[in-house]
Amino acid sequence: MTDSESHSDKLFALLCGLKKAHPSNEFDGEARVAWPTPLAMSTIEMSDAAKQAKQEQGLVVVHRAFTNAALVAANVAAKEAWMSDVAPQVTSSTDVINANATGLMAITRKDTCWPTTVIGNKNFGYLIAGPEAKEERHKATLPSSGVEIVFAIGGAFRANLALLCHADSAVVLDFLFRLSGHEHTSIISQDYCKLHRGVLTVPHVDIYDRSEQSINRMQAIAFGACEGRVRLCYLRFSHRPEVRKIIVNMLAGGKDIWATGRGGFRALPKESAWRVINVFLRAGCVQYGAPRDLVAWEPGVIHFEALVNEAASGGDDHGPPRITLENDTSTSTERYVVGTHVPSGFTQRELLEIGVIADAGFVFHSYDNANAGNAADVNSVHKKSTQWKTHRAVPDSEKARAAALVALTPSDYDARAAEWSAARRRCFMGQPPQQQRKRANDDDDDGDDAAAEGVEEPAAKKEKK
């Protein structure tokens, strides 16, 4: 027996033992309409079980978490983001006219509607603006503090919020915040949505740097109704130290992709990645997001894109699906990034102002550490590096939108924030103390634990009983 075979056998045995020792990390969101209010004990128990499963197994999967109506709202908002952020930069007026009359997925499949430089990087597939010249970057000063922040167009973030703030998603949003472990203080991180079927995302791990650790980042993705056959796959238990130790021995050169140091994207060596994945497949420890699912995962979990053929083995009743590291450029991709973090360095007033700016279609700039030295940098989980020498040209319509943003007065911010729903306010600012409800055995960081009997329910909740 070779060393490679020995390590594979050890990993297989370990995974089978872990799978047997832990209950399922999959939950069913279809019964959402039957769930009581978000503060009901059954929902608390479900989120606590999911939190434990995520910590021990690396991820949780909530099947059918989102309704079709909520996903339609997100899809519409994503198309609006393309029309406002990308269309003014598309060179063919015919493409824009045709795009306006068609659906979002038809737009994202057309290369001329997904141009590199305008969208950076088109092969990555996210609706993120390419970098512009530094002198053309948008800056705005927060009125309450005088802090200047560099922003970029980011209408895709509004699509993520359209999904989470839909009336059908109320319980799911509460569940997501509870899952983060910081249910009252977490907010939804500014991020994008993936809509273009670019190149495959290779097997890798995301290592959080110190700033990401300090803000208690949690990664999560909601999969749209148009998510096709190329799925984002996860290796269950791959974040655990005892599993990682064997994987390192299986990787070419004994490369420790989890080693401490600089955070970020770390790929498995190409020549040995499939050997590792195959062991997880044999053990039944490869999971993936399907249409309408919500997946949240721990740092250090191996994940990647692969072609999933659910019919190859007859579906769940007749064995696992067939998973291969292949692409299918004809299929569609629809993913909304809905991770959370605990904001650091911003006051509640500043969070309100940043929320209004996000509602106007602008987010913290992603490239070149544009906000280095201020709180926006610490609170940016969507930062990207770039090797492009060609900058995108900023269209006049975008410059006008940015100028209107700079002209906002404090009363303008108040007026716009007054229109927010409670869900949207929570996504931007967290949950105000007066709306927090403590419970027995609460293990988050938002204050002293309280006996369930001693907590007064909000009046609005009493009236509904």
- Please give the share of the chain, as a percent, with pLDDT higher than 90: 65
Average pLDDT, the chain: 86
Query: CB within 8 A of 415, min separation 6: which ones?
Result: none
320 with 370, same domain: the answer is yes
332 with 452, same domain: the answer is no
Is the N-terminal amide bond of 121 cis, ω within 30° of 0? yes
Mind listing the pLDDT tens digit for each residue in 278-312? 999 999 999 999 999 999 999 999 999 999 988 76
Whether residue 286 contacts residue 233, with contact meaning beta carbons closer than 8 Å, is answered with yes
Q: Where are the alpha helices (DSSP H) in 32-127?
A: 41-57, 68-85, 93-100, 104-109
Cα–Cα distance, 248 to 378 (Å, whole number): 31
Q: Is the pLDDT of residue 324 over 60?
A: yes
Q: Is the pLDDT of residue 358 over 90?
A: yes
389 with 442, same domain: the answer is no
Structural domain harbouring 31: 1-431
339 with 440, same domain: the answer is no
Q: Is the pLDDT of residue 322 over 60?
A: yes
pLDDT at 114: 83
pLDDT at 198: 86
323 with 192, same domain: the answer is yes
Q: Could you tell me the pLDDT band of residue 33, with boundaries at 50, 70 and 90? A: very low
Mind listing the pLDDT tens digit for each residue in 54-92? 999 999 999 999 999 999 999 999 999 999 999 998 877
Question: Cα angle at 254 between 250 and 258, to 5 degrees?
Answer: 95
Mind listing the pLDDT tens digit for each residue in 226-264? 999 999 999 999 999 999 999 999 998 888 999 876 678
Calculate the CA dihedral of residues 163, 168, 170, 176 and round it to 10 degrees.
-50
397 with 256, same domain: the answer is yes
* CB neighbours of residue 1 within 10 Å: 7
Q: Which of 74-83, 150-159, 215-224, 454-463 has the lowest mean pLDDT?
A: 454-463
Average pLDDT over residues 213-228: 94
- Give CA separation, 118 vs 80, 90, 386, in Å: 16, 8, 13
Mind listing the pLDDT tens digit for each residue in 35-50? 433 333 355 667 888 9
pLDDT at 81: 95
pLDDT at 388: 58
Cα–Cα distance, 132 to 405 (Å, whole number): 18
* Number of residues in the chain: 465
Bigger pLDDT: 444 or 121? 121
pLDDT at 386: 63
98 with 128, same domain: the answer is yes
256 with 136, same domain: the answer is yes
408 with 456, same domain: the answer is no
Q: Whole-model pTM? A: 0.89
Cα–Cα distance, 183 to 179 (Å, whole number): 7
Q: Could you tell me the pLDDT band of residue 168, with boundaries at 50, 70 and 90? A: very high
Q: Is the pLDDT of residue 105 over 70?
A: yes
For 137-147, give one letter per residue: b (16+ CB within 10 A) or e. bbebebbeeeb
289 with 253, same domain: the answer is yes
87 with 187, same domain: the answer is yes
Q: Is the pLDDT of residue 98 over 70?
A: yes
* CB neighbours of residue 295 within 10 Å: 26
Q: Are strands 59-63 and 26-28 parallel, antiparallel or unpaired?
A: parallel
361 with 452, same domain: the answer is no
pLDDT at 125: 87
Could you give the number of structural domains in the chain? Answer: 2
Q: Which of 141-150, 296-305, 375-384, 438-447 has the lowest mean pLDDT?
A: 438-447
Closest CA to 167 of 40, 50, 73: 73
Q: To which residue do tokens 């940043």 refer?
A: 354
Q: Could you tell me the pLDDT band of residue 320, with boundaries at 50, 70 and 90? A: low
Q: Are strands 264-267 and 322-324 parallel, antiparallel or unpaired?
A: unpaired
Q: Could you tell me the pLDDT band of residue 434, with boundaries at 50, 70 and 90? A: low
